[in-house]
Chains A and B, each alone.
Chain A
């Protein structure tokens, strides 16, 4: 167990709806990164939050947004859901957003299905 938690475990939504996914980072970690993993693919970087500020963003549209709270937990929001948003959403926590040497530890993920 990494100490990173995510909720909910599974979620079913319909196209056009909005969804919020939650993540609690490992104790002592101030950085949370979000990834999307489609079936049979490696995780794709969505964005990262370091001390409540966005610290890098991948190639995802603006309808993917997030925030980080003072306790370093984080939310991922997706608006106007599309069928292709169906995936496993992974949250990873790390010690600091400033070094590529920091190891990232993943939570169990949220499986999102868009119908």
Chain B
């Protein structure tokens, strides 16, 4: 079992709709969770970090964490064509900054 799992997609969402990206992790000592966006040929860009159970909102983005279910998600409201990218979920453990990434979900927003 991979430590961080994501559906590789592609996930196609109409413009203006809500895109929902999911990530599960296997290690219960995972403490910090991050979502990165990566455009083709570019490096990952940090979108959101979340450390506590519940929701965290930043503009059109909402991260949701459920440690009991070992599940973290990213919602993108009012999806725009510029949101088309690969979204990487990453986790780190207590006292260790090493990030463990999933393989990413490719999101396409359809105009």
User: Which residues of A line the B interface, CB within 8 A?
Assistant: 2, 31, 33, 35, 40-45, 48, 55-56, 58, 88, 90, 92, 94, 96-109
Contact = CB atoms under 8 A, between A and B. Distances in A.
**Closest 6 A/B residue pairs (Cβ):** A42-B101, A100-B92, A106-B43, A109-B43, A100-B32, A45-B98
Contact residues of A: prevailing secondary structure: loop
Contact of B95 (A35, A42, A98): A98
B80 interface: no
Interface stretch (B44-52, B58-66, B71-79): B44-52
B107 interface: no
A43 B42 CA distance: 12
Interface in B80-111: 88, 90, 92-104
B43 A108 contact: yes
